[in-house]
Each structure stands twice: as C-alpha cells, then as structure tokens.
Chains A and B, each alone.
Chain A
Amino acid sequence: MASFKTYLIKRIILALVVIYFVITITFILSHVVPSDPAELYVGPKATAEQREKAIKELGLNQPIYIQYLRYFQNLVNGDLGKSLRAHTPVLHDILTYLPATLEIVVLANIVALIVGVAFGSYSALKKDMLADHLIRIVSVGGVSIPSFWFALITQLVFFGILGIFPLDSRLSSDIQLFNPIHTITGFYTIDALITGNIVALVDSVRHIILPAFVLATYPIGLVTRMVRSMMVEVLNENYIRFAKANGFKDNLIYYKYALKNALTPALMALGLSFAYSITGAFLVEVIFSWPGLGTYTVNAILENDYPAILGVTIFGTIFYVFINLFLDILQAYLDPRVRLQ
C-alpha cells in the first residue's frame, strides 16, 4: 500500500511539472508572437498616451523575468488576464461558457459508456455472428465519420425532413423570454428540473439531443471497439474457463467477471475523449450554435485575442492533466493488480 502512495505522489508531481511547462510555453508564445498586445488592447485609433497607459497596465514595461513571475502570481490567484476584445477577465468568460460545453459533453459520454458497453459486450459474446458484424460496422462508422458532416446530416434529417428536433441553440427564444431558466448550475436541463420549470426542461432536452448524439458517435465507436476486443481477450483467459468448468452462473461470468476486466481500459479511453471534448467539441458547437467553450475559443482565434486563447489553453491543459490523474487513481481503485503492486 505504501508503494501506491509513492506512485500517487509521483503522478501528482508529474502533473504539476506538465502544467508548469505548458504555462511557461504559453508565456513565451505570448511574448514572441509578432503582434503588439498593447495595440490590440487599446485598438487602432488610440492615442500614444492611451498606449503608454495600456503598456503600464499590462506590465509590458517591466523586465521579462518580472513579467514571468507576475504571470505565475496572477495564475495562482486565478487571473488568466483580460480578453482583448471585451476587456472581461478570461477566467470569468471560461466559467460562463464552460457549463454549456460540460452539459453536452457529459451527456454524450454517459450515453457512450452505456451504449458502448452494451454493444461491445454483446458483440464479444456473439463473436463472428451476424450481430457482431453489424455492431462492428457501426462502431467503425462511429469513430471514422467526420463530426461536422454528421452534424449537418442530423440537422437535415431531424430538423429539415422530420421536423422533430429544433435546429440549434440551447433554448427556443420564446421560452427564453417567457419561461427563463434561473441559473444555478449552468446546466439548463438540471436547472430547469430543480426549479420545476417543466416547459423549459422539455425545450432544453429537445435542444440537447442532437448535438449530444453527434458528440457521442465517436466515443460510442471507441468504447464499443475497446470493450469488444478486451472482452474477447478476457473470455479466452484461463480464469473464465476455470469459472465455467466449476459451475459459475453464466450471468456472473459474462457480466461480472469478464466485464469488469474489460471495462477498465474502456473507461480510460472514455476519460481521455471526455477531456479532449472540452475544447475539441467546437465543430459541433459551432454548427449547433451551442454557446460553449469551443465556440468561445474559435471566436478568440479568429480575432487574435491572445489572452483568451492562452487562457483556454492553460485551462484545457489543467483540466486534461487532472482528468488523467483522476483516471489513474480510478484504475488503481478498480484493478487490485495496479493498487497492490
């Protein structure tokens, strides 16, 4: 058990080192990229005086190491700088846009976990039979279909032809006017549910289905393939043969003994796809006019808003690193071989 503790400490130190390097790189980038932050900050029509003031305000007149240290100091205090466009604190922006993204990404990954595990284990149990082949075709499709194309197709079919789901955005405008959602968590569906706003709940669910479904296709394919191949491997293990030979119930063998062994790697893959989607979901967000972090990032890039881009980068890195750390701990918790080594 002691060695697990040292392993954990090592992993945390490693995570901090990664974060440190990413922050340093973003700092360097923000100083070598050939543009004038002060100019961007005050706009093209500003006077020389205003520029001077901005340079002071941004600390650009100080020696580089002081700027570097101040950069860190600010980060530790949760200050990611101010957006050049809106002059709002970047962290505040990120936290405003984050819930919208988390809402679809979390939903998509829960769906992916359930569907992927069901498909994957069924496919493995029916190896080389028709059901297995069908599921394998679907899962290859899931990982290889370009998400923007699939997003457009679902809009065409479910909005354009069938007309059963709305085209885009998080909420219909009339609902926003007459039954506005009181924000608690920032997750519209959950907020509407807690506040008992049934009309808005139904509307927000109708809006979230298509983007969440499109976002789920990749992790569904991923988890299905992962669970299937792990499960096929596990079913050939000696301990499965031993359990069968000694009369263990089939349900126990398949859905307890084999699945738990097959699940861990699938959870790891899902966790990484989840962390990636926090900023990587922008194609889907843009197509569905979903006001999430991806959309925010794309706008920041289009407008050369460096503090915003770097802020998102740092935030994304920290998120990714911590998800990774969490996954390692989860794996150790699930697999005694890791925990006890």
Chain B
Amino acid sequence: MVEPILSVEKLDVSFSTFEGLAHVLSKVTFKINHKEVFALVGETGCGKTVTALSIIKLLPRNSYVQGRIIFNGRNILELKESDMVEVRGKSMAMILQDPSSSLNPMFKVGEQLCDAITSNDPNIKEPKRYALELLSKVGFKDTERVFNSYPNELSGGMQQRVAISISLTGKPTLLIADEPTTALDVLTQAQIIQLLKQVRDTYSTSVLLITHNLGLVATLCDRVGIMYFGQVVEIGPTYDLFYNTKHPYTKGLLQSLPYNKLKNQTLPTIPGDLPSPLSPPSGCRFYPRCPRSNESCSKDVPEILPITDKHYVACFNPLSGDE
C-alpha cells in the first residue's frame, strides 16, 4: 500500500485557560492520500481549526499536544521550529477562513506575493513574472492591475484567490483550506471551489478541506471525516458517508441539512447542547445526546475502527445499512 501523505494519529490537544485545562481534541485520527481532497466536517467549535493549526504547527503557546502527525515520513510534532520553517509554504501551505484579514492591508498584493515567492523559492530570478503567472493561474485577467492593488481594493473572492496564489508559491504537496468559502457569497463560493479542483489537478496537491458546508463536500471531496466535539467519529468515501451512514451523529448532521426541510417541513435537530471541553463526558463524547447509547458508551471511548475496507466508525452501536 502507498504511504499516505499525511497521517494524524491519536492527536490530543488541550489548552490551559483561566478556567482550567480545556481538552479540545481527543485521539483525532485520520489520513490523507496523495492527490486526494479530504474533508473535515463538524459543527462550530468542534476543533477543526485546532486540528489544522496542529498540523502546520502554529498553535498558540498555551497549548499541549500529544500524539503523532506524520507528514512526508516525518513526525511534525518532533520537528524544531527552524525545520518547520522549511516545511511551511514549501511542502505544506494553508489558507484561512476570512480572506479579508489574510492579507496585510499595508502592502500591495504584488509585494506580498513576491515576498512569498522569494521566501519559498530563492532560486526564482524574476519573482514578478512568476507572480503574474500565478495570478493568472488563479483566474485573474488583468494581472498587472491586481498586482498593483492593495488588498482593500479587492473583493472577498478576489482576496481569497490572491491568498490561494500565495499558498501556491512553493508548490506545496498539501494545502490546508480552513473554511475557504464561508465568508463568501454563493456565486463566489462556486468559483473558489472550481479553483481548488483545478489546483488539485494541475499541481497534484492533496487538500485538507475544512468546512461545514456538506454541499461543498459532495462536489469536491474524495473522502470525508466527521468530527464531533474534538473526536473524529466517522471516516469514509464521500458516497458511503452520505448513503451508507454509520454513526448516529453523522446521521443527525445529514438530517439537519436544509434541503431535507422540503420533505419533512420542520428541520430535525440533534437534541442537547455541546458539552464543555473543560469537563468532557467520559467514554464516547456523543453519548449524552445519542439516541442509541447504552451503558458501555459512558464507560469506554470507542476507537475508530474499519467497518468495511474504507469506511471507519467510532461507535459501539453503529447503524446498519438499511436504517
């Protein structure tokens, strides 16, 4: 079997806060293969951004990390900061949720792009030419004008495309996209998705796509991981996950999608609230809200195990195929 490009193994992250230690991630496990778009889906606050920042090693100082993150055969968590500088931008890059704050407002787009180019590949002789080339790759026609613009002169969608062009300067093998379309309108979202597809195809980049937009997942992603409250509860190929759902939480999530409203009139929601990461429930973190929970759910943490060849679930009572 081919080695995956990224393998996250039993990643635990906690933060020391004024109220105590917040256990934000618990045994997060998944992998991403070459040229694959992998989606990480979950509610607000479940730890998607924290997972992304752990991978690129930019968590704030008040964090404690355990587990392993193997990227290109090396454990990221054991790398020194000076080695990590050689990883970021070169073999792994990241775009953020809010494009309007991703670019420095004080500098022209072209200057930021050229600085990224010279930082990531000092051998490039004509950074400006490469910059214009990248700008046209991400879909700009009037590249010279964009090059000479300040970020504030561009729309959100244009800013996100500039951000993507910056992340491509070092031709990364893994691109982390943390909710790249959340702040954009529907039409622009479609453009950005199209662009990400194109990036995957032309650069053979693997993409970790963080989102709560399941429509985006269906159009773009090969495989999906569902996160609930700091745990990955189900992983599988996109089709299986939608049509052969195994985890009760995934099912609740799919049922609460707005398009189901047409059929059901009222939108089903998952009962209960998110627990606090300061005192997470023992055992499965979903059991207090789970319709299928039994005694063992509160005692032991279910490990994420294969149910079929490619479909993994962390549940003691997974749904069977016909439910």
Contacts and interface: CB of A to CB of B under 8 A. Distances in A.
Nearest to B91: A247
Given A241-B96, A245-B58, A246-B166, A340 B153 contact: yes
B170 A247 contact: yes
Residue with the highest number of chain A CB atoms closer than 10 Å, among B98, B118, B119, B150:
B119
Residue with the highest number of chain B CB atoms closer than 10 Å, among A245, A261, A337:
A245
Interface in B98-117: 98, 101-108, 112, 115-116
Nearest to B102: A242
Interface in A309-341: 334-337, 340
Nearest to B167: A246
Contacts of A335: 105-106
Interface string B50-64: 000000101000000
A239 B166 contact: no
A242 to B, nearest CB: 4
B85 A250 contact: yes
A7 interface: no
B169 interface: yes
Interface in B41-95: 56, 58, 85, 88-90, 93-95
Given A340-B152, A340-B153, A248 B106 contact: no
Given A238-B96, A238-B102, A246 B116 contact: yes
A244 interface: yes
A249 interface: yes
Contacts of A238: 96, 98, 101-102
B163 interface: yes
B119 A337 contact: no
Nearest to A249: B119
Contact of A257 (B102, B107, B150): B107
A243 B170 contact: no
A244 B94 CA distance: 9
B318 to A, nearest CB: 36
B105 A246 contact: no
A260 interface: yes
Contact of A246 (B98, B118, B169): B169
Contacts of A260: 106-107
Q: Is the interface of A mostly helix, strand, loop or mixed?
A: helix
Interface string B138-177: 0000000000001011000000000100110110000010
Interface residues of B, number: 34
Contacts of A257: 104, 106-107
Contacts of B101: 237-239
Contact of A242 (B103, B115, B150, B153): B103
B181 interface: no
A246 to B, nearest CB: 5
A248 B150 contact: no
A247 B102 contact: no
Contact of A336 (B116, B150, B170): B150
Contacts of A261: 104, 106
Interface in A215-269: 237-239, 241-250, 252, 256-257, 260-261
A119 B160 CA distance: 35
A250 to B, nearest CB: 7
A55 B105 CA distance: 62
A337 B176 CA distance: 29
B120 interface: yes
Contacts of A245: 56, 58, 88-89, 93-94, 96, 176
Residue with the highest number of chain B CB atoms closer than 10 Å, among A246, A249, A257, A334:
A246
Contacts of B95: 242
B88 A246 contact: yes
A242 B104 CA distance: 9
A247 B88 contact: yes
Contact of B88 (A244, A334, A336, A340): A244
A246 B172 CA distance: 9
30 contacts: A238-B96, A238-B102, A239-B101, A239-B102, A239-B103, A239-B104, A241-B96, A242-B94, A242-B102, A242-B163, A242-B166, A243-B104, A243-B112, A243-B116, A245-B58, A245-B88, A245-B96, A246-B93, A246-B94, A247-B85, A247-B88, A247-B170, A248-B115, A249-B119, A250-B85, A257-B104, A337-B105, A337-B106, A337-B150, A340-B153
Given A246-B88, A247-B170, A256-B115, 6 more contacts: A238-B101, A239-B102, A243-B116, A246-B170, A247-B89, A249-B118
Closest 3 CB pairs of A and B: A247-B89, A238-B101, A245-B94
